[in-house]
């Protein structure tokens, strides 16, 4: 065996092992420029142990037993590969990791089941699963998004491990042996990245530097999305859009599912959408954006130009003989599959998509069936022996199956940028591999309108965030089966606080737009969709943070409270940013639940009531109430209600302040749509809160960046049971008003261009 150890960035160590005497040139679908920076660590050899030291990280290799251990800067062992743990059997690489007694494992992309993956077996193989819970498929081990990256947490210290190998992998995490994690891959070499930690944000920063970060999305993508398989005609789509406006339920995006096409031919509109361009313009006029679904399968039809061009260009995946394109049955019937692993094919696809987008003025695309699915193929996908002519030379489908979707999304992104070079694309993908976050947001595929799936969406989305994919969401209301008013109300409450907020359902399921279940459900849905829109400035700043650092927006409790052992066990509630704790009701008929509030003081968002943390509390919640808590010391920006993100110019931002010893908010703004922020046309400002002897103060830091903010006024709302009387801007008195019934003190301050301080008492 040949091995190589290198330091690729601060706190990130790479270990490569190959069966022969030499490592092959590295090939990666996920890791970009980063490996170029690798430096060799210092080596000290003594008593048969080689110690590699690099900037506070130590790797020990016992040359007699072959044991590898990785130590963090405090000397704690965070990853151990016991002697013989790295092996190749029939060319298949295997690893075995020692698990600590209290170690928990998170990540791996999209998984069903509980938050902590210890005790589960997972197979990383992108798979189309109808109804993705273990109650429907008891042996379920694979889902749409496979990411061989895990985070381990023990006694408050975290570390990360990424195996950069796209072949099918199996992870047996603490099963059958409780103290081992066995991982094997069908093909390839061992190429591991160990993230030393111990802080979660550092691990995600390192991992996302390695595999890429989510580009900042356009602001409209953060609004509410409505979808259905399928809104079947131009008339239906326009009526739907008008219904949202008539009922005053905010909405930004309508998704067009497969029935818009001409007999499922990609890049076409069918007869029932004969005036597609006029329809999409009409939607724009009333403030809607559209997303069109794009499947990879191209209908075999010599009269169809996309098909004939693809043949001519030799742009298709080949069957195992290597002589002709492989075919499979998908929605269009007999279909062929573009080979997105090739640069030439991605370029061609990008051109097709770009022409289609420009002709019809479509705003974004969602890529579905991108496993790729083939109804008649083995395991509902292509034969593993099918041949791809990749950027790295010929490969079998088994070698590239897991990256097919990421490469399709890459083409799709290039296409969107070609069509609208000045705008940020919004793309959505069902499948993905490590790095998908660079190309597209993801949704979690075909869940069902089951209470169980409502609950599972929390750990599923949390683990996606921990796997480097911050922009994710589950179909609100559930995709398959029939939703009910109560389920929709609870699901909308939860999904309003997830990064992607889309209601979508199946063609055979009962409709589930917010109004179909009657007045009460409609009012509840409206209320939470409105709240989402009011929270947009908060969300937008969180998105910017995710784009810059890899930090997820939707965070497990332990992200914010890493040293709290109880927080590490909670998987049915979460933090949105560091200020909001969301604890949805997940049971039919449920009117109460236990909520874990970590140490400190919390405020009930609805009543303002103070709740002591460091305990589990029983929280009562009527159907219209989502248990929602605010951490003390938080500053949360709200904006005026809008029916869509571009409806009006926002000139006032309301800053709610919940008292506590201290707090801060990283304010971010830009034009919300263009790429100008890449040239510094954005505005960043730190807002800090501090408590004084008899009052509090906010310090607005110096704005950074060149964006001319439209905001004229900050309306400060201080939550205080004690009567507050005066507010001051620097030395000057401001007009403030205390509302005793609500326990709120309210005053306005102009948005000054330099640093300034306001205080109250
Ligand atoms: O086999 O395009 O997950 O969101 O509505 C079903 C029809 C194909 C699966 C997607 C779903 C979409 C549906 N598609």
Q: How far is CA 19 from the centre of its chain?
A: 36
Has 368 been annotated as catalytic?
yes
Q: Is the dihedral of CA 443, 140, 509, 378 positive or negative?
A: positive
d(CA 446, ligand 1 centre) in Å: 7
257 CA closest ligand 1 atom index: 2
pLDDT band at 37 (very low <50, low <70, confident <90, very high): low
Peptide bond into 372 cis (omega under 30): yes
Is residue 260 over pLDDT 90? yes
Q: Percent of the chain scored above 70 by pLDDT?
A: 99
368 CA closest ligand 1 atom index: 10
Over residues 96-100, the mean pLDDT reads 96
Does any ligand 1 atom lie closer than 6 A to the CB of residue 371?
no
Backbone phi, psi, residue 528, to 5°: -80, -30
pLDDT band at 277 (very low <50, low <70, confident <90, very high): very high
> How much is the pLDDT for 303?
98
* Residue 107 CB contacts under 8 Å (≥ 6 apart), including other chains: 117, 147, 149, 150, 151, 160, 463, 466, 467
d(CA 405, ligand 1 centre) in Å: 15
- Residues 600 and 481: their CA atoms lie apart, in Å, by 42
DSSP 356-392: HHHHHT--EEEE-STTT--TTSGGGS--TT-EEEETT
Helical (H) or strand (E) element with 732: strand 732-734
Does any ligand 1 atom lie closer than 6 A to the CB of residue 430?
yes
Is residue 133 over pLDDT 90? no
Token readout for 337 is 């599959």
- Buried b or exposed e, range 682-700, using 16+ CB within 10 angstroms: bbbbebebbeeeebbbbeb
d(CA 368, ligand 1 centre) in Å: 7
446 CA closest ligand 1 atom index: 3
d(CA 430, ligand 1 centre) in Å: 9
The active-site residue, picked from 446, 456, 522, 560, is 446
Is residue 35 over pLDDT 60? no
- Residues 532 and 495: their CA atoms lie apart, in Å, by 9
Does any ligand 1 atom lie closer than 6 A to the CB of residue 295?
no
Is residue 33 over pLDDT 60? no
Has 89 been annotated as catalytic?
no
Over residues 533-544, the mean pLDDT reads 98
d(CA 308, ligand 1 centre) in Å: 26
Q: Report CA-CA distances (Å) from 238 to 271, 281, 542.
A: 16, 11, 33
Q: Which of 33, 183, 176 is nearest to 108 (CA)?
A: 183
Does any ligand 1 atom lie closer than 6 A to the CB of residue 229?
yes
Token readout for 742 is 């609500």
pLDDT band at 56 (very low <50, low <70, confident <90, very high): confident
- Tell me if 729 sits within 8 A of 755, measured CB to CB: no
- Tell me if 494 sits within 8 A of 457, measured CB to CB: yes
Over residues 730-739, the mean pLDDT reads 94
The active-site residue, picked from 72, 164, 202, 371, is 371
Over residues 384-409, the mean pLDDT reads 98
Does any ligand 1 atom lie closer than 6 A to the CB of residue 572?
no
d(CA 383, ligand 1 centre) in Å: 22
- Tell me if 76 sits within 8 A of 91, measured CB to CB: no
- Buried b or exposed e, range 265-278, using 16+ CB within 10 angstroms: bbbbbbebbeebee
229 CA closest ligand 1 atom index: 5
DSSP state of 270: -
- Residues 264 and 481: their CA atoms lie apart, in Å, by 24
Q: 485-495 and 451-466 are packed helices; what angle lies between their axes, rounded to 10 degrees?
A: 10
Does any ligand 1 atom lie closer than 6 A to the CB of residue 478?
no
Is residue 697 over pLDDT 60? yes
DSSP 580-644: EEE----STT--EEEEEE-SSEEEETTT--EEE-SEEEEEE--TT---EEEETT-EEEEE---SS
Which residue among 232, 380, 446, 512 has the greatest number of ligand 1 atoms within 8 angstroms of its CB, and so is best to mutate? 446
The active-site residue, picked from 72, 368, 431, 560, is 368
The half-sphere exposure of 475 on its side-chain side, counting CA atoms within 13 A, is: 27
Does any ligand 1 atom lie closer than 6 A to the CB of residue 294?
no
What is the residue with the minimal CA distance to atom 5 of ligand 1?
229
Does any ligand 1 atom lie closer than 6 A to the CB of residue 293?
yes
> How much is the pLDDT for 40?
74
d(CA 293, ligand 1 centre) in Å: 9
Does any ligand 1 atom lie closer than 6 A to the CB of residue 728?
no
Helices (H), 134-199: none
Which residue among 131, 228, 229 has the greatest number of ligand 1 atoms within 8 angstroms of its CB, and so is best to mutate? 229
Lowest mean pLDDT among 129-143, 219-233, 316-330, 669-683: 129-143
Does any ligand 1 atom lie closer than 6 A to the CB of residue 395?
no
What is the residue with the minimal CA distance to atom 1 of ligand 1?
369
Is residue 698 over pLDDT 90? yes
Output the CA torsion 191→197→201→202 (10° steps): -70
Helical (H) or strand (E) element with 182: strand 180-185
Q: Report CA-CA distances (Å) from 470 to 139, 214, 222, 465.
A: 28, 7, 12, 5
Q: Report CA-CA distances (Å) from 102 to 36, 105, 155, 599.
A: 36, 10, 7, 21
> How much is the pLDDT for 700?
98
> How much is the pLDDT for 160?
97
Does any ligand 1 atom lie closer than 6 A to the CB of residue 446?
yes
Q: Report CA-CA distances (Å) from 627 to 460, 536, 611, 641.
A: 20, 20, 12, 22
pTM over 0.85, yes/no: yes
Instruction: For residue range 610-631, list pLDDT tens digits in order.
Output: 999 999 999 999 999 999 999 9
Does any ligand 1 atom lie closer than 6 A to the CB of residue 368?
yes
Has 62 been annotated as catalytic?
no
366 CA closest ligand 1 atom index: 4
Q: For residue 158, what are the β-bridge partners?
A: 153
Backbone phi, psi, residue 85, to 5°: -75, -25
Which residue among 368, 377, 441 has the greatest number of ligand 1 atoms within 8 angstroms of its CB, and so is best to mutate? 368
> How much is the pLDDT for 283?
98
Q: Which of 355, 275, 266 is nearest to 306 (CA)?
A: 266
d(CA 544, ligand 1 centre) in Å: 30
d(CA 260, ligand 1 centre) in Å: 13
Q: Which of 119, 95, 205, 101 is nearest to 160 (CA)?
A: 205
Q: Which of 513, 527, 647 is nearest to 244 (CA)?
A: 513
Backbone phi, psi, residue 225, to 5°: -115, 140
Is residue 54 over pLDDT 90? no
Mean pLDDT computed over every residue of the chain: 96
Q: Percent of the chain scored above 90 by pLDDT?
A: 91
Tokens 């933090």, residue? 575
- CB count, 10 Å around CB of 65? 13
Does any ligand 1 atom lie closer than 6 A to the CB of residue 490?
no
- Tell me if 148 sits within 8 A of 163, measured CB to CB: yes
> How much is the pLDDT for 720?
94
d(CA 219, ligand 1 centre) in Å: 25
d(CA 440, ligand 1 centre) in Å: 17
Q: Report CA-CA distances (Å) from 47 to 44, 50, 57, 557, 559.
A: 10, 8, 20, 44, 40
Does any ligand 1 atom lie closer than 6 A to the CB of residue 174?
no
pLDDT band at 674 (very low <50, low <70, confident <90, very high): very high
Does any ligand 1 atom lie closer than 6 A to the CB of residue 595?
no
What is the residue with the minimal CA distance to atom 12 of ligand 1?
229
Instruction: For residue range 438-465, list pLDDT tens digits in order.
Output: 999 999 999 999 999 999 999 999 999 9
- Tell me if 266 sits within 8 A of 294, measured CB to CB: yes
Token readout for 297 is 């399968």
pLDDT band at 152 (very low <50, low <70, confident <90, very high): very high
pLDDT band at 24 (very low <50, low <70, confident <90, very high): confident
Q: Which of 498, 576, 573, 574 is nearest to 542 (CA)?
A: 576
Lowest mean pLDDT among 51-60, 500-509, 532-541: 51-60
> How much is the pLDDT for 38?
67
Q: Is 731 left (phi over 0), alpha (psi -120 to 50) or beta?
A: alpha
- Residues 625 and 619: their CA atoms lie apart, in Å, by 10
Is residue 731 over pLDDT 90? no
- Buried b or exposed e, range 546-570, using 16+ CB within 10 angstroms: bbbbbbbbbbbbbbbbbebebbbeb
Higher pLDDT, 130 or 384: 384
Tokens 């998987």, residue? 571
> How much is the pLDDT for 26?
83
230 CA closest ligand 1 atom index: 5
Does any ligand 1 atom lie closer than 6 A to the CB of residue 257?
yes
Does any ligand 1 atom lie closer than 6 A to the CB of residue 255?
no
d(CA 298, ligand 1 centre) in Å: 16
> How much is the pLDDT for 42?
83
Is residue 135 over pLDDT 90? no
373 CA closest ligand 1 atom index: 1
Does any ligand 1 atom lie closer than 6 A to the CB of residue 687?
no
Is residue 469 over pLDDT 90? yes
Is residue 579 over pLDDT 60? yes
DSSP 53-79: EETTEEEEEETTT--EEEE-TTS-EEE
Q: Which of 397, 383, 395, 466 is nearest to 145 (CA)?
A: 466
Instruction: For residue range 478-509, list pLDDT tens digits in order.
Output: 999 999 999 999 999 999 999 999 999 999 99
- Tell me if 402 sits within 8 A of 166, measured CB to CB: yes
Q: Rg for the chain (alpha carbons), in Å?
A: 26
Q: Report CA-CA distances (Å) from 123 to 169, 199, 397, 444.
A: 6, 28, 17, 17
Does any ligand 1 atom lie closer than 6 A to the CB of residue 216?
no
Is residue 10 over pLDDT 90? no
């Amino acid at each position: 065996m040949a091995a190589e150890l290198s330091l690729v960035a601060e706190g990130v160590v790479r270990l490569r092992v190959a069966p022969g005497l030499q490592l092959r040139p590295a090939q990666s679908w996920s890791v970009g420029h980063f490996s170029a920076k690798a430096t060799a660590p210092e080596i000290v050899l003594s008593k048969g142990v080689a110690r590699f030291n690099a900037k506070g990280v130590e790797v020990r290799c016992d040359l007699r037993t072959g044991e590898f251990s990785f130590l963090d800067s405090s000397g704690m062992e965070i990853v151990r590969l016991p002697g013989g743990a790295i092996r190749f059997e029939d060319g298949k690489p295997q690893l075995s990791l020692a698990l600590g007694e209290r170690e928990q494992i998170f990540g791996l992309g999209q998984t069903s089941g509980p938050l902590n993956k210890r005790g589960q077996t997972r197979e990383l193989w992108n798979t189309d699963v109808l109804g993705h819970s273990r109650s429907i498929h008891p042996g379920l081990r694979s889902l749409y998004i496979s990411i061989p990256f895990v985070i381990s947490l023990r006694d408050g210290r975290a570390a990360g491990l990424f195996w950069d190998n796209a072949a099918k992998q199996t992870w047996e995490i603490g099963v059958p042996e409780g103290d081992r994690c066995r991982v094997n891959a069908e093909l390839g070499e061992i190429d591991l990245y160990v993230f030393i930690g111990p802080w979660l944000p550092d691990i995600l920063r390192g991992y996302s530097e390695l595999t890429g970060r989510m580009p900042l999305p356009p602001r409209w993508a953060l609004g509410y999305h409505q979808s259905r398989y399928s809104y079947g005609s131009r008339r239906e789509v326009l009526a739907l859009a008008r219904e949202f406006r008539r009922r005053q339920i905010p909405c930004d995006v309508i998704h067009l599912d497969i029935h818009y096409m001409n007999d499922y031919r990609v890049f076409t509109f069918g007869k029932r959408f004969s005036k597609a361009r006029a329809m999409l313009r009409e939607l724009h006029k009333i403030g809607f954006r559209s997303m069109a679904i794009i499947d990879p399968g191209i209908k075999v039809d010599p009269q169809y130009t996309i098909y004939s061009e693809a043949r001519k260009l030799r742009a298709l995946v080949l069957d195992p003989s290597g002589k002709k394109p492989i075919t499979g049955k998908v929605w269009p019937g007999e279909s062929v599959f573009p080979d997105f692993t090739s640069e030439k094919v991605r370029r061609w696809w990008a051109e097709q998509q770009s022409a289609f987008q420009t002709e019809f003025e479509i705003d974004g695309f969602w890529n579905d069936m991108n496993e790729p699915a083939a109804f008649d193929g083995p395991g509902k996908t292509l034969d593993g022996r099918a041949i791809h002519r990749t950027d790295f030379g010929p490969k079998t489908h088994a070698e590239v199956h897991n990256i097919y979707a990421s490469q399709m999304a890459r083409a799709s992104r290039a296409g969107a940028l070609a069509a609208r070079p000045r705008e940020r694309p919004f793309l959505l993908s069902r499948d993905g591999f490590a790095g998908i976050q660079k190309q597209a947001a993801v949704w979690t595929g075909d869940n069902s309108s089951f209470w169980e799936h409502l609950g599972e969406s929390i750990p599923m989305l949390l683990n996606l965030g921990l796997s480097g994919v911050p922009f994710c969401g589950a179909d609100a209301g559930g995709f398959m089966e029939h939703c009910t008013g109560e389920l929709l109300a609870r699901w909308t409450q939860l999904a309003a606080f997830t990064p992607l907020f889309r209601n979508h359902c199946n063609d055979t399921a009962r409709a589930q737009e917010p109004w179909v279940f009657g007045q009460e459900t409609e009012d509840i849905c409206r209320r939470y969709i409105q709240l989402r829109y009011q929270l947009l400035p908060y969300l937008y700043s969180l998105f910017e943070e995710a784009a810059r650092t890899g930090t997820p927006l939707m965070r497990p409790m332990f992200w914010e409270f890493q040293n709290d052992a109880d927080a590490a066990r909670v998987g049915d509630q979460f933090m949105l940013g560091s200020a909001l704790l969301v604890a949805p009701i997940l049971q039919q008929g449920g009117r109460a639940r236990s909520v874990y509030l970590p140490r400190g003081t919390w405020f009930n968002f609805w009543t303002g009531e103070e709740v002591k943390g460091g305990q589990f509390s029983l929280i009562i919640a009527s159907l219209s109430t989502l248990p929602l808590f605010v951490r003390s010391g938080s500053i949360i920006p709200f904006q005026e209600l809008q029916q869509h993100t571009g409806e009006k110019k926002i000139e006032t931002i309301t800053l709610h302040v919940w008292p506590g010893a201290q707090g801060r908010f990283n304010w971010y703004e830009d034009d919300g749509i263009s790429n100008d922020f890449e040239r510094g046309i954005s505005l960043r400002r730190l807002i800090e809160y501090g408590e004084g002897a008899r009052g509090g103060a906010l310090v607005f830091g110096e704005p950074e960046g060149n964006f001319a903010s439209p905001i004229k006024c900050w309306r400060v709302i201080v939550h205080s049971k004690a009567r507050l009387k005066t507010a001051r801007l620097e030395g000057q008195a401001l007009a403030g008003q205390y509302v005793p019934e609500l326990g709120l003190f309210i005053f306005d301050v102009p948005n000054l261009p330099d640093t300034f301080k306001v205080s109250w008492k």
